[in-house]
């Protein structure tokens, strides 16, 4: 896609954040091809990690992660299939959240080129926030999972943010699972 392509109208998420009072400021750098651990391309170069320019911002949404980590923007919206929100969050000292697939909308967003449509059997990416704090992620999700948002987005399940469950989870110890493998 051309680097300076401007969509004829805002995607649903962009229109929503504008209605909520946000002012879109900048588009973060992206790798020329997704599925990489480095955000670099010939047009804009390599995204810089806000803490150490010798380190990566991670791939895919890495430019946005670097902008949030450097406090240039209060939050960003990235897309994630295999870690494209979570990787930049880890590399830039911020919080990233990948909602369940179809819990957010990408209606009106453009893919790698105008007119792109993912194949029917493709793993579906999901839009998720990159923020400085968990409280910022909560604020994003409260606004996104609201009656007003569901009215305009029939493809998103009308399940509101669950305040009771969120507050109950705050007092519990977290169980974190991880996978570690070694080359033998």
* Strand, helix or coil for residue 128: strand
CA distance 108 to 7: 9
* 84-132 per-position pLDDT tens digit: 999 999 999 999 999 988 888 888 777 665 566 666 666 778 899 999 9
Cα-flanking dihedrals φ and ψ of residue 126, to 5°? -135, 140
CA distance 98 to 119: 21
Burial-class residue 16 by CB neighbours within 10 Å (0-12, 13-18, 19+).
buried
pLDDT band at 161 (very low <50, low <70, confident <90, very high): very high
* 26-83 per-position pLDDT tens digit: 888 888 766 678 888 888 899 999 999 999 999 889 999 999 999 999 999 998 888 8
E-assigned strand segments in 84-147: 95-96, 126-131
* Strand, helix or coil for residue 13: helix
Query: What local confidence, expressed as pLDDT, does residue 155 receive?
Result: 80
* 139-153 per-position pLDDT tens digit: 999 988 888 888 877
The pTM is what?
A: 0.85
Tokens standing for residue 23 = 């002012």
CA distance 149 to 143: 8
- What ranges do the domains of the chain cover? 12-170
Predicted confidence (pLDDT) at residue 1 exceeds the cutoff of 60? no
Q: Does domain 12-170 have CATH number 3.40.109.10?
A: no
CA distance 111 to 6: 13
CA distance 11 to 173: 38
């Amino acid at each position: 896609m051309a680097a300076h392509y401007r969509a004829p109208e805002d995607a649903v998420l962009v229109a929503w954040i504008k209605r909520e009072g946000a002012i879109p400021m900048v588009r973060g750098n992206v790798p020329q091809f997704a599925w990489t651990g480095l955000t670099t391309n010939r047009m804009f170069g390599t995204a810089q990690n806000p803490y150490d320019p010798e380190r990566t911002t991670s791939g895919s949404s890495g430019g946005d992660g670097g902008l949030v980590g450097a406090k240039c923007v209060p939050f960003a919206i990235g897309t994630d299939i295999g870690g494209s929100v979570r990787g930049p969050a880890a590399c830039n000292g911020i919080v990233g959240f990948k909602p369940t697939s179809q819990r957010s909308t990408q209606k009106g967003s453009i893919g790698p080129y105008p007119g792109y449509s993912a194949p029917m059997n493709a793993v579906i990416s999901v839009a998720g926030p990159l923020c400085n704090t968990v409280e910022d992620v909560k604020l994003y999700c409260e606004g996104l999972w609201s009656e007003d948002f569901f009215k305009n987005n029939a493809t998103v399940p009308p399940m509101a943010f669950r305040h009771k469950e969120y507050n109950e989870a705050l007092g519990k110890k977290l169980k974190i699972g991880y996978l570690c493998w070694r080359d033998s």
